[in-house]
Amino acid sequence: MAEAAIRLEGGPHESTFMEEVMKALPEGGNLNLCLTCGACSSGCPASGIEGMDPRKFLRMAALGLDEEVTKHRWVWCCTQCRRCVHACPMSIDIPRLVFNARARWPREERPKGIRGSCDAAVNNETNSAMGAGSEDFKFVVEDVLEEVHENQPRFKDMEVPINKEGAEYFLNQNSREPVTEPDEMVPLWKIMHMAGADWTYGTAGWAAENYCMFLSDEENWEKIVRNKVKAVDDLGVKYWLNTE
């Protein structure tokens, strides 16, 4: 897509898109308080990509350029890190504006990778975006733990509980680790062990990621969160720790 430039013909346009987003946010997300200071763009990892940055995106929305804003590919470059919100002296919620712009895209036209990860997570009880199942996860955890016990005497007594009822903490794990980098799970286990934490994984709802949020698929985003909450409640765990 060609770089978007701010061109106004016949004066400012009326922005129905921005008005709709403001109605959905507490105090309108402060979207009408922009000082055009540029603080949002200075720390944005997506600033300059596709010829766009947070300040320009917000100003285009404010000026009523709904067509250009809601169809610009830059919305898929935003990481939703919220640096712009924290840097902004007016605490303007630009990521929420981006989220709603993504939601305007037909689902089949949204990025294939994010869409596929969302669908994979929705279609299994683990909510793994990589499609990892419960038994696979359990096998990898037990295999890696056995290796730690054999090769690291200091942690020969370390436990990694799965489906422990009544534990204090339910821990989620990004499914990239057990699928592609299983050893990356170990540092977190060691932290929990050294802290003496009473914790557990679950075979259901263990995956920490939720690509449906990035896809702006609110229905499936909520479905995944509710499944994870159910997994925590079913084990009677007090606190839910999500590593994402």
Helices marked H in the chain: 16-24, 39-42, 54-62, 66-70, 83-87, 94-103, 112-122, 134-151, 176-180, 186-194, 211-214, 218-234
Are the beta carbons of 148 and 141 closer than 8 angstroms?
no
- Distance, in Å, from the CA atom of 225 to the CA atom of 210, rounded to the nearest integer, reads 8
Q: Which residues contact residue 123 at a Cβ distance below 8 angstroms, ignoring those fewer than 6 apart?
A: 131
- What is the pLDDT at residue 25? 84
Mean pLDDT of 75-101: 94
What pLDDT, in 10s, does the model give residues 118-166?
999 999 999 999 999 999 999 999 999 999 999 999 999 999 999 999 9
**What's the token pair of residue 180?**
């592609």
In the predicted model, is pLDDT for residue 3 greater than 50?
no
Are the beta carbons of 64 and 15 closer than 8 angstroms?
yes
What pLDDT, in 10s, does the model give residues 216-244?
999 999 999 999 999 999 999 999 999 87
- What is the pLDDT at residue 13? 55
Using left for φ > 0, alpha for ψ between -120 and 50, and beta otherwise, residue 98 falls in alpha
- What is the pLDDT at residue 195? 97
**What's the token pair of residue 99?**
């989220």
- Distance, in Å, from the CA atom of 234 to the CA atom of 244, rounded to the nearest integer, reads 22
Q: Let me know if 104 is exposed, middle or buried by CB neighbors in 10 A (0-12, 13-18, 19+).
A: middle
Are the beta carbons of 76 and 68 closer than 8 angstroms?
no
